[in-house]
Structure 1
Amino acid sequence: MLVERAAGSARRTQRGSLLLEFMVAAVLSLLLAVWAGHEWAQRARALQARSLAAWMDVAREAAESFLARHAVELAHAGAADALAGQGYADWAAPQWDELRSAGLLAGGWQDRGPLRRTLGLRVVREGECPGASCRVWGLVHARPALRTSAGGVDESLAAEWLQAAEGRGLVIWPHRPGFLGGAGLRVPVPEEGAEDWAPGVVALAARVPAGQMGDAGSEDTDAYLRVRDSRDPDFQGDVTARGVVRGGVRLAARDSLHLERGWGVGEACAPEGALGRAREGLGVLACRQGVWSLLARPAGGGYMLNSRRGCFNAMGGTSANPVTGACACPAGYVMAQVAESGSITAPEGLTMGFVCLSQQ
């Protein structure tokens, strides 16, 4: 009897120990599951932060291309529509579709990115513009701010984003709501669009690399030209162009117009009305009905030749052709005798007069 009681007590003790072990195992499994879930959530947030930073970096490169292309215009821009002719409704807040149309942003870039964010671009000017102190740069910022479900700044996610931005990121922290702070950099938030600059906003600064912007903000902008510039460049040296040079009204030269290449009368030409010069000798050609035609040719001159005195008259003066300086015609001209006096046997000799006629 005593043996049976002892055996029953042992079985009850064993069942209690197994139940306790099951409870401990269940608690450990729950803790592991919670830890694993938290770890996966953290990894997912880190990947989202990296994706957001990469997506914003593409937009930053496009913004820098915009600043480099329109540096001079931005330094001088007054009204919001100063760049309307270039395709930008507001130069201080260019839209991404405007940059895409200008070829500065890839067509496949999406307007909505990771974490269901959109991006804004704000162009900022510092110093006196235009002027030597003028600096033009931009801010690519994510909208809305990085917030927790409770409404506070999601500092953990912002830290992940800063790490992914590799030192280029800027964040508006709650303790400094009026500034964008980053690695060794702090800039005031823009005055325009206050709703875009709440604590938790992350941004990338877009700046033109050194050497690409030149001295765009300087008053001395006469050294730089831009598309449809209305200023007279007043070049002080030679100008070479590989293509057609077209003038809106007329072509004026203070010295002369030099046509280097010559053409032959009757050769094919284009366009209609073009001017050229004769290949042989002197003469101006015009392109008429697809062939070069002689438009104007200077007189070839004339001379007198004596059988005894040569190109000299009885007084010892020259009788040479004033065009050539000799008793000859210019290239492209032929001589035609127009006068004759005296005799070969006479003491004064035979004198003949010639004029030079164009062969064309």
Structure 2
Amino acid sequence: MARANMPRFSTGQRTQRGYLMLSLSLALIISSLLAVQAWRQERRQDDHKTAEAQALVLKNLRNNYETLLYEVYTDLQAGNAITRNGVTIPFGFAPGQAMAPTVAQLEAMGLGVNGMANGGSYKSLLDAGFVVRQERIPAGCETASLNGSECQITGLICFDRPLRDPKTPVGSVDGEAIGRMMLALGADGGASLTGVAGGQIIGSQGDWEVPNPVAGSPEGVVCSRYGFGSSLFMNFLRVRDSRDPQFQNNVTIARGLHVQENATVNTSCAGRTEGTAVWGESNGNPVWLRCEGGTWVTGNGITYANAGDTCTAEGTFGMTHTGVQLVCSAGNWVIADNKGLRAAAYYGHGSTVPVPTCGPGMTPSAVISAVSASNIIGINNAGNNTGSFQASINASWGITVTGADGTPAGNSATALVLSFCNPS
């Protein structure tokens, strides 16, 4: 039987065919690798978006907790129950109490969390819950002041379990997803990081640190802070705020202004900005004070002092703390009504002039301004025979009236004495 003719390939043709097959195989392998890489990249982007979305849930809850905090701040300071939208929560620190309200309670209070999941949905956060912790700071502030008015309130909301990737070895933290969450949460986001002692929650910018509220303080817990010290809260002045707002223009206040600081006039204001005004007291009486030259002085335009106190601006007026007018005279504050002439009267030979009572910073004095008599010349009054008189007052305020030769004048001869209170 005849054998069919079979095509024959030369050695060169067989080699070319082998190269072609190898090229096709490599192309398929490269295409497969690129497809896998693209798939992984797409999955990673999906994970990033899901992680960011999960962080936004935490951020929205954080904002609602802070809204509630704004409204009930004074009640939390005082340790009172809080009420909103007809829902009352007793004061306490346990979950479901005023210092740790649940998401369900926020929803019942009408804080805009309707339909918001009370848990997570990303990887290990699937069906996770939240841990909320609020506290009054500094420690003991609730008893150190009336109704806890010295207390600041700070809050922290966290997922109740760490963020881990189930595809990685057990116990490893999903650092890439945590990083995405920190970007979404901003300055108020924080997490417990690998290698940080005590599992502390560290702020995304490293500028704050708080204890981990999740049992066991595990690594990989994501949180967001709110209240006093948080980035949003920094835009507002708060009860007992210790910061200086440094307003750059006038501030108009519709009602009364209560400045709590109480300084004392004429005491040191060292370390305070020149011109700082505070509410203070002078001899127990309320008065505005300003810091001037390192000393608290009255700031209402009136100088308050005590009679006898030193002063520097000669001729200026002031006031005592009981409303008596003062004048600065010879370096001392003196009562204006007591300064100058106090009495004018005639006194005969041998009389004693009453010494006027002068206030602090004042000294009594007297002068003889005139001498008079009904009979200058008379045989019964030898001291009058010269036709002239001499009068004087001694250190004991005694009066002497004599004739020119020193003979005492008669009883009808008197001296007009003016008594004064003069600055010392």
What is the TM-score when the length of structure 2 is the normalising length? Answer: 0.45
- The structure 2 residue matched to 1:97, chosen from 104, 110, 129, is 104
Report the counterpart of residue 139 of structure 1 in structure 2.
156
Higher deviation after alignment, 176-185 or 53-62 = 176-185
Q: Kindly indicate which of the two structures has a greater share of residues assigned to strand.
A: 2
Q: How far off its partner does 1:122 sit?
A: 1.4
- 2:200 counterpart of 1:179: yes
Report the counterpart of residue 126 of structure 1 in structure 2.
137
The 5-angstrom pairing of residues 1-360 of structure 1 reads: 7-77=9-79, 82-83=81-82, 86-88=88-90, 89-115=96-122, 116=126, 117-127=128-138, 128-130=140-142, 131=145, 134-149=151-166, 150=169, 151-176=171-196, 177-182=198-203, 183-189=205-211, 194-195=215-216, 197-207=217-227, 209=233, 210-211=235-236, 213-215=238-240
C-alpha change, 1:112 and 1:178, in structure 2 (3 Å) is closer
Q: How far off its partner does 1:91 sit?
A: 2.1
- In 2, the alpha carbon distance for the partners of 1:163 and 1:193 equals 22
Structure showing greater radius of gyration is 2
- In 2, the alpha carbon distance for the partners of 1:201 and 1:91 equals 23
SS state at 1:166 partner: helix
- In 2, the alpha carbon distance for the partners of 1:65 and 1:8 equals 85
Q: How far off its partner does 1:56 sit?
A: 1.0
Return the letter of the residue paired with 2:67. Answer: S
SS state at 2:116 partner: coil
Instruction: State whether residues 72 and 216 of structure 1, in contact with CA within 8 Å, keep that contact through their aligned partners in structure 2.
Output: no
Q: Deviations over 1:287-333 (max 9, x none)?
A: xxxxxxxxxxxxxxxxxxxxxxxxxxxxxxxxxxxxxxxxxxxxxxx
Q: How far off its partner does 1:63 sit?
A: 0.6
Q: How far off its partner does 1:166 sit?
A: 2.8
Instruction: State whether residues 83 and 90 of structure 1, in contact with CA within 8 Å, keep that contact through their aligned partners in structure 2.
Output: no
Q: Deviations over 1:94-124 (max 9, x none)?
A: 1111111111233222213431243222112
Instruction: State whether residues 122 and 138 of structure 1, in contact with CA within 8 Å, keep that contact through their aligned partners in structure 2.
Output: yes
Return the letter of the residue paired with 1:143. Answer: D
Q: How far off its partner does 1:126 sit?
A: 2.1
Report the counterpart of residue 378 of structure 2 in structure 1.
none
- In 1, the alpha carbon distance for the partners of 2:40 and 2:69 equals 43
Q: Deviations over 1:246-276 (max 9, x none)?
A: xxxxxxxxxxxxxxxxxxxxxxxxxxxxxxx
Instruction: State whether residues 171 and 180 of structure 1, in contact with CA within 8 Å, keep that contact through their aligned partners in structure 2.
Output: yes
SS state at 1:167 partner: helix
Instruction: State whether residues 51 and 114 of structure 1, in contact with CA within 8 Å, keep that contact through their aligned partners in structure 2.
Output: no
Report the counterpart of residue 229 of structure 1 in structure 2.
none
Return the letter of the residue paired with 1:75. Answer: Q
Q: How far off its partner does 1:60 sit?
A: 0.7
- In 2, the alpha carbon distance for the partners of 1:53 and 1:102 equals 23
Instruction: State whether residues 138 and 206 of structure 1, in contact with CA within 8 Å, keep that contact through their aligned partners in structure 2.
Output: yes
Runs of 4+ aligned residues of structure 1 deviating over 4 Å after TM superposition are: 4-7, 82-85
SS state at 2:33 partner: helix
Return the letter of the residue paired with 2:103. Answer: W
Q: How far off its partner does 1:139 sit?
A: 0.8
Instruction: State whether residues 59 and 105 of structure 1, in contact with CA within 8 Å, keep that contact through their aligned partners in structure 2.
Output: no
Any gaps of 5 or more consecutive residues in structure 1? 218-222, 224-360
C-alpha change, 1:170 and 1:41, in structure 2 (3 Å) is same
Q: How many aligned residue pairs are there?
A: 210
Q: How far off its partner does 1:7 sit?
A: 4.7
SS state at 2:16 partner: helix
Instruction: State whether residues 126 and 134 of structure 1, in contact with CA within 8 Å, keep that contact through their aligned partners in structure 2.
Output: yes
Instruction: State whether residues 67 and 137 of structure 1, in contact with CA within 8 Å, keep that contact through their aligned partners in structure 2.
Output: no
- In 1, the alpha carbon distance for the partners of 2:236 and 2:177 equals 36
Return the letter of the residue paired with 1:175. Answer: G
Any gaps of 5 or more consecutive residues in structure 2? 1-5, 91-95, 243-257, 259-424
Instruction: State whether residues 124 and 139 of structure 1, in contact with CA within 8 Å, keep that contact through their aligned partners in structure 2.
Output: no
Instruction: State whether residues 76 and 129 of structure 1, in contact with CA within 8 Å, keep that contact through their aligned partners in structure 2.
Output: no
- In 2, the alpha carbon distance for the partners of 1:161 and 1:148 equals 14
Q: Which fold has the larger relative contact order, with Cα–Cα distance below 8 Å and residues 6 or more apart in sequence?
A: 1
- In 2, the alpha carbon distance for the partners of 1:58 and 1:98 equals 15
Instruction: State whether residues 169 and 203 of structure 1, in contact with CA within 8 Å, keep that contact through their aligned partners in structure 2.
Output: yes
Instruction: State whether residues 188 and 226 of structure 2, in contact with CA within 8 Å, keep that contact through their aligned partners in structure 1.
Output: no
